[in-house]
Every structure is written in structure tokens, then in C-alpha cells.
Structure 1
């Protein structure tokens, strides 16, 4: 089982849409995916319609060490895609974990119970520095950080997300090495000189920085992403072909490329996904 966190200390960069659409495509490829919503604004929890709502959620997992999968995992309408809902309505978890001896390592210690049931865990995090965010990073095999090609987003990346990775580096002395960080250029406009300049600067800046990689894959600004969210569907089911006259590739191609770069061991499965995969297409 692989554990991936989608992180950024800046809100509004597209963490939830990346997590939801990546999880949807990977589930349609035949793999078992668990989404975990660690955001106090639980957008991921409501992205997909549920066919079964579990009685518990992230609060019971972290506050009471709940390990019963039946109690925790809600089933979405997307086959093989489950979600642990964000249900910390009173926002108590940050304080609880801050004062717990194992606070930053609690999720890491709890996740192995899901290993027999899922191939991939995707964690959506809040867009602010917190003990919850640090806990998520330390529980992960890899972190993906969406970065929009804007100067404020680039500055916050250096000030917030990269500083976070530096601050948790000492955990390697206890055998918990911080995971690699992959930066994802998100919402790339089709035509924008400033955006292209920022993209090129980011690629040059982190070209040889240890532990940090800018993904070759980019997610273009695409109205289909908003349409998919309204419909509660993965974007690859909504746009499988590139519209006539548009330069940017179809959403299906974009998500296949991103998933294949992150998980090359499953590339063959991803390449077989179509817009109809969720309706009887592929089984792993």
C-alpha cells in the first residue's frame, strides 16, 4: 500500500480537485483507493456521492485510534473508491495532536491496518501549516504539492511548504525520513507569458535540489474540472476527448499522464482507462 499526501500551506491551489480526480482515475483503473480528508473544510468529503456513509470518520480515527474499517470507510459511487470523512466539526484534533506524545506520528502508526484492503491511500490536507499537516507528511511515501503559476503561490511555496519539509527533517534521526516532494504545476493557462515565465523559473530553481522534483506533467486550466465537480464525477469521465480547436489535451489524457508519472508500475492499467471505465470497464 502506498500513501500519498497532497499538500500546500497555501489554500486555493487545487489540492482537493487533484486528490479527487487522481483517486477517481486510479479506482477506474481497477485499483483499490482510500481517500482521507484531513481538511477542516471538508470539500473532499462531499466531492463524490456516497452509497454508504460510515458512522465514524477522521475524528474517531485520530482521537480514539479507531481501526475498524467498517466504522471508518464510507463507500462512494465510484467503484473501489472509499473515503474517510472529515468530521472534526469543533476543530479539536489539532489541539489534541499537538499535546499528544505521538501526535505527529499517530497517522503513520494507524495506517498499516488499511494495508490489506487498499493499494493506495490519498490524503487531502488543509492549506495551512499545522500539526495535522506535519502528521500527514510524516505518514506518507510521497507528497505532491500543486503550485499555480502565480507569483504569490510561488512565494508561499518557498516560505511555507518547503520550510515545512525542512522543519520535519530531524525526524529522520528517529527512523522516519521525510518523503520526497513532487511539485505539480496546476491550472496552467493556455496562453500567459507571466505564467510560462514562473513555470520556467520554478523548474530551473528546483532542477537539482535534493528531495524535490517538479513533475513533467502539468494540469492545464480546464473548465471540465469545474463541470466534473458539479456532477460529482472524476474529470476523465467528463472529458475523454480534446474539444475541437483547443490546444490543451483532454482531461483523460492529463490524468493518465499524471498518474503514470507518479506510479509508473501501474501505467499499463492507467492507459486502459476510458470515460466508460466506471461503468463496467476494467477490473484489476
Structure 2
């Protein structure tokens, strides 16, 4: 089982858009995929897709009561192979309970091994701030995706917040005897202007000198209305746009998501390219 977490200590960068679209692409590629919505403050992923079955519980029941019964905590979307554990924190206690639990940061890693369904890929969507649930997701993950606007102010915030949190969790992982996490940075909502490309090149060069575990993906997600329209309709962007309009330079949503997925999970490249 491959487990991937999204990461950004700044809200609104596109973590949920990336999680939902990459999860749906993976499901269409025949991979049994589980989404986990750990953003209890803005649980957008929980309402992104229509559901065929809504479980009575969610992340609170999983993490606080250790419930791993699929019918009780795992909901099923209308997309074949795509399930989700919905965000729920009825009394806003999850962060506090995990913070004071002796195994708080390790709990999700342990529980994932006990889930009854044999998932190929788990994608964990996190909140846009430093929090124990974010650290818990990074301890459970095999790799990380971090969307970043191609702007210098966003890059500086990434360095002060996201990268600092990421490095702290990697230090924790080393003390636990776990492998160091790789971080995949993907430029999101990048337009085709020369200015945006120049800034992206400068940020790529800057990040390349910071940490060997940080990689900037060659693929960027363009600033297209397609992704907003797909989200409003509750469907994956690649279902809405499979081919590139002849009048546009940017790749289609399908091609973009395929390229991102192939960079993040290269061992499934043939599956993604076959969608």
C-alpha cells in the first residue's frame, strides 16, 4: 500500500483539488484508492464527490475510537474503486485528544494497516496549518505532495512554514527508525505568461539548493477554469476535459493529471497512461 499526504501550511493552495483529482485518476486506472479527509476545519474533500454509501462515522471514529470496520468509517463514492473516510470532529476535540495521546503522531500509521480493504493507494488531505493531525499524516505517509503558487511570496512562506514542518517530521521519522520522506512540489495555477515561467524557474532553482528530499515536479498544473467547473459539478477534472482545446497552449486536465501522477508514483506509469 502506497500512502501519500498533501502538505501546505498555507490554506487555499490546491491540496484538496489535487487530492480529489489524483485520487479519481488512480481509481480510473484500476487502483483501489482511499481518500482520507483530515482537514477538520475546512473539510472540502468530504463533499467533493457524490456518495453511493455514507458511513455513519469518519476520521474521528477511526482515530479516537480506533474503529476500522469498513461499514462504520469508510464511505463509497460513485466512482468505482474510490472510497473516502469523511472528516468529522463533532466537538472540535480531535487535535487536542491526539496532542495528549502518547501515540498521537503514530496512530494513523498503525490504523492504516488494520483497515479491512486492500487498498493500493491512500491519499491523505490535510489542513493548511501546522497541526498534530498534519504531523500524524506525514508519519503515516510514504511520500508527500505540496502544491505551490509560482510566486516569490508564496515560495518564502513555503520555506518558513511548510518546509520547516516537513523537515521537523523527517527528524521525528529518523528517531522512529522510518525512512525519510520525499517531498514533491507541484506548481499550481500557473499561467502561460513569461513572468510566471521566469518566477517558477527561479523558485525551482531556489528549492533545488535547500534539501535533497525536496523535488519540484516537471509538470505544473495550469490556471484553468476547468478545475473550478469540475469541482462545482463534483466530478474529476479529467472526466470534464480529456483532450486539449485546439485554441489553447496548456495541456488538457487528463494529460496534466496523468503527468503529475506518473512523476509522483512512477511504478504505476503504465496504468495512468492507460486512462
Please give the range of the TM-score, normalised by the shorter of the 2 chains.
over 0.9
1:138·1:177 contact (CA, 8 Å) conserved in 2? no
Are 2:51 and 1:50 equivalent residues in the alignment?
Answer: yes
* 1:118 matches 2:119: yes
Partner Cα separation in structure 1 for residue 187 and residue 97 of structure 2: 34
Deviation at 1:262, TM superposition (A): 1.2
Supply the distance in 2 between the matched residues of 1:89 and 1:161 (Cα, whole angstroms).
28
Contact map agreement 1:137 1:178 (CA 8 A) in 2: no
What is the TM-score normalised by the length of structure 2?
0.95
- Alpha-carbon shift at residue 244 of structure 1 (Å): 2.4
Query: Would you say the 8 A contact 1:32–1:119 is kept in 2?
Result: yes
1:220 corresponding residue in structure 2: 222
- Matched residues in 1 for 2:34 and 2:115: separation? 9
* 3-state DSSP of counterpart to 1:227: helix
Alignment of 1:1-284 (within 5 A): 1-40=1-40, 41-114=42-115, 116-168=117-169, 169-193=171-195, 195-208=196-209, 209-273=211-275
Stretches of structure 2 that go unaligned for 5 or more consecutive residues are: none
- Per the alignment, residue 282 of structure 1 pairs with none
State the 1:166 CA deviation.
Answer: 2.1
- Secondary structure of the 2:260 match is helix
Which sits farther off after the overlay, 85-94 or 33-42? 85-94
Equivalent-residue separation in structure 1 for 2:96 and 2:180 (angstroms): 23
Point out 4+ residue stretches in structure 1 off by more than 3 angstroms. none
1:206–1:152: structure 2 CA closer, same or farther, 3 Å change rule?
Answer: closer
Q: Displacement of 1:80 after TM fit?
A: 0.6
Deviation, structure 1 residue 70: 1.8
User: In structure 1, what is the Cα distance between the partners aligned to 2:53 and 2:27?
Assistant: 17
Aligned to 1:281: none
- Measure the CA separation in 2 of the matches of 1:114 and 1:187: 35
Verify the 8 A CA contact 1:165 1:178 in the aligned structure 2. no
**CA shift in 2, pair 1:170/1:42, >3 Å:** closer
Deviation readout 1:262-282 (Å, 9 max, x if unpaired)? 112211111111xxxxxxxxx
The runs of 5 or more residues in structure 1 that have no matched partner are 274-284
Q: Distance in 2 between matches of 1:56 and 1:188?
A: 37
CA distance in 2, matches of 1:215, 1:115: 33
Q: How many residue pairs align between the two structures?
A: 272
For residues 114 and 153 of structure 1, the distance between their equivalents in structure 2, rounded to whole angstroms, comes to: 37
Q: How does the TM-score come out when normalised to structure 1? A: 0.93
